Amino acid sequence: MFRVTRCDITDEEVEKFLNPHMEDFGNFVYEFLVPEAIAFYLASGYRSSSIWESDFNMHINSIMDMLNQVNVEKKVYLKIKNNSKKILKMKYGLIVCSEKPLNFIDTYSRD
């Protein structure tokens, strides 16, 4: 569930809730999303002869820079949003029932 108070959280809450969540998210990004993006970029660029020869580390650094500069136009943003909703439902059992504020129906919940 979402936290509902907007006040400061204690150091203990940061340690117990926020830090583990951010660590899990970072691990997911760097274990799955980033390697997939790098592999796609390199395979696509190599096969289309559209990237230059360079060190592997240099390519990774360049790709990471590109990921940090992604500017998403509205139609792509909506596609990302809709695909995220599908993944939330199929993989995590969460159905978006409200976007403002974001809220879910948890189909896996035992409550």
For residue range 83-103, list pLDDT tens digits in order: 999 999 999 999 999 999 899
Phi then psi dihedrals of residue 51, to 5 deg: -125, 155
Q: Give the ranges where the chain is alpha helix by DSSP (H).
A: 11-13, 19-28, 34-47, 56-68, 74-92
Q: Are residues 53 and 76 in the same domain?
A: no
Q: Are residues 32 and 57 in the same domain?
A: yes
Whether residue 1 lies inside any domain: the answer is no
Q: Are residues 88 and 77 in the same domain?
A: yes
Instruction: Give the gyration radius of the chain's Cα atoms.
Output: 19
Q: How far, CA to CA in Å, does 96 sit from each of 25, 30, 36, 53?
A: 20, 26, 26, 45
Indicate the pTM of the whole model: 0.72
Range of the domain at 79: 72-111
pLDDT per position as a tens digit, 30-51: 999 999 999 999 999 999 999 9
Domain count for the chain = 2
